[in-house]
Amino acid sequence: MFGIYLKRELSRRKKAALVIALGLALGIALVITVNSVSAGMQQAQDKVLKSLYGLGTDMTVTKARTAPTSGSSGRPKFDFDAKSDSSKTQSSDRVMTQGGQSLKSSLVTEVAAQKGVASAVGALSLNVTKVDGSFTQGKAKSTTSGSGQQGGPGGQGDGTGAPQVQGGGASFDVNSYSVAGVDVTHQDLGPLATSKITTGKTFTASQTSAKVAVLSKSYAKENKYTVGETFKISGTKYKVIGIATPDSSESTTDVYLPLEQAQTLGDAKNKVTTIYVKATDSKQISTVKATIQKNISGTTVTTSADLADTVSGSLSTASNLATSVGKWLSVAVLIAAFLVAALLTSSAVSRRVREFGTLKALGWPSRKVTRQVVGESIVNGLLGGALGIALGLAAAYTVTAISPKLTAELGSTGGGGGMGGGPGGGGPGQMASAAKNTVDIALTAPVSVTTIALAAGLAITGGLIAGAMGGWRASRMRPADALRSVS
């Protein structure tokens, strides 16, 4: 009886049911769209942060660089023999640690022993400035003086003046690139973790002191290096064993060396610039950060949350809009949709005075009348939910298909100039540079099962709210009301 009556009443009031369903559908579609876009923003931000951190890295431990002493400026210095023949090309490499102040390698073990730390790996960041070119010596030429000039003693001039140097100069090329020292026994954490070996192979655990290198794809292509070739850094030959393609286009590491080789190259024995840390529980990162800062003084601990605060540009603006304005707007529209549905249901009940009064005169109790109204409202809510999910999925698909480009500008975290880190490949070292790095990210709008479930729950909730108001009004009607409505 309930089902038959429900079906008949809904078919009689198709227009009213459609209006109520549409109101709920718009609110639910907006909720799905905002949630999916917010999820896309989070994924985009994660991509940016992954370019700064090694895969699986939860935080990094660094130390701010101190001011140079009075005897050194800290700037690169190159010495050449200015008397060299122009036919001889001169070359010099200047290797300097990049990022923050160097840390003792023993701190890696100390950090790994802290409560909440699953693993810790050290890395050394270097910057190599290569200067090569040649000098051209000038030639001394004598100039002929005018007549009448007197020369040496005796007043007789020889017609020549003082010799002058003509020509000469220098032509040098400057090339700068970054080097990351990798702990070859723990490559799943650190600078190389965010890159994939696309040609050749990566380091083996036995190559801790081997003179081998992995090059980034862009650096190898620019300098025409292939697997098996050798190249020099400060006079030391390294064999290229692999070409790595970074997961993020923001990676700026050019050369990866075994950590011991990088330490020798940079005259930084038993030193690292960054300690990559993985926590045992991702929900306790802030607690682990506080523990490390408390037990290991003088260090700077940077988490992904800290780096997220440095991301600006259209990605940050859109993310703020989606999380603040967008969510509040969707809540407001949803509340308005619920109220409209409730008012329309209540208004429809008011027009059914004769119907409900007659049913009560025939013996229907108030709870049965209320159940009938609530049942109709829930069906309207489910219809609106289905329509809203379809509209929300269509909107999310449209955003993903268009894939609007957002820019993320990576600025300094303010944790002290020169936070070390594997340049580009992982670590916030590149964040400390004065110039901001800009990353282009394509926005997507993934819709999760949780979002669909939320939409279905909101549809049922909207139906229950509308049905509760309409049912309450219908339950208060008396049989006499039906008789008074008869003209």
114 and 229 within one domain: yes
Do 111 and 196 fall into the same domain? yes
Same domain, 264 and 321: no
250 and 396 in a single domain? The answer is: no
In a domain, 149, yes or no: no
**pLDDT under 50: residue ranges of the chain:** 147-149, 151-152, 412-435, 487
**Chain mean position to CA 196:** 18
Q: Within 13 Å, how many C-alpha atoms sit on residue 72's CB side?
A: 8
Q: Is residue 327 part of a domain?
A: yes
> Encoding tokens for residue 170?
């220098």
Note the pLDDT of residue 214: 95
Is residue 32 situated within a structural domain? yes
Say what the pLDDT of residue 258 is. Answer: 95
What would the two tokens of residue 7 be? 């079906």
Whether 240 is in a domain gets the answer: yes
Neighbours of 317 (CB within 10 A): 12
pLDDT of amino acid 322: 58
Residues 6+ apart with CB under 8 A from 442: 44, 403, 404, 405, 406
Claim to verify: residue 341 and residue 237 sit in the same structural domain: no
Is 376 found in the same domain as 469?
Answer: yes
Tell me how many domains the chain contains.
2
Q: d(Cα 411, Cα 54) in Å, to the nearest integer?
A: 18
Identify whether 412 is part of a domain. Answer: no
**Residue 341 shares a structural domain with residue 480:** yes
pLDDT the model gives residue 309: 59
Secondary structure E strands in 320-371 = none
Point out the domain boundary residue: 246, 268, 298. Answer: 298
Q: Are 123 and 229 found together in one domain?
A: yes
Residue 24 is part of which domain span?
A: 2-52+314-404+443-484
Identify which of 212, 210, 134, 220 has the alpha carbon closest to the alpha carbon of residue 177: 220
- The DSSP secondary structure of 371-402, one letter per residue, reads HHHHHHHHHHHHHHHHHHHHHHHHHHHHHHHH
> Of 298, 324, 355, which one is at a domain's C-terminal end?
298
d(CA 95, CA 263): 11
User: Could you tell me which of 2, 23, 15, 103 has the C-alpha nearest to residue 337?
Assistant: 23
In a 3-state reduction of DSSP, which class is residue 265? helix
Which value, in Å, is the radius of gyration of the alpha carbons in the chain? 37
Residue 417 lies in a domain: no
**Which helix (H) or strand (E) covers residue 97, if one does?**
strand 90-97
pTM here is 0.57
- Residue 180 has what pLDDT? 92
For residue 146, being part of any structural domain is answered with no
Q: Find the angle CA(224)-CA(229)-CA(230) to the nearest 5 degrees.
A: 105
Final residue of a domain: which of 245, 271, 298?
Answer: 298
Distance between CA atoms of residues 189 and 183, nearest Å: 9
Q: Does residue 61 lie within any of the structural domains? A: no
Furthest C-alpha separation in the chain: 151
Residue 320: its pLDDT value, please?
A: 59
Q: Based on the domain organization, do 331 and 242 belong to the same domain?
A: no
Q: Do 323 and 250 share a structural domain?
A: no
The answer on 255 and 123 residing in a single domain is yes
Q: How far is CA 308 from CA 46, 203, 391, in A?
A: 9, 32, 32
* Per-residue pLDDT, 207: 93
Let me know whether 351 and 291 are in one domain: no
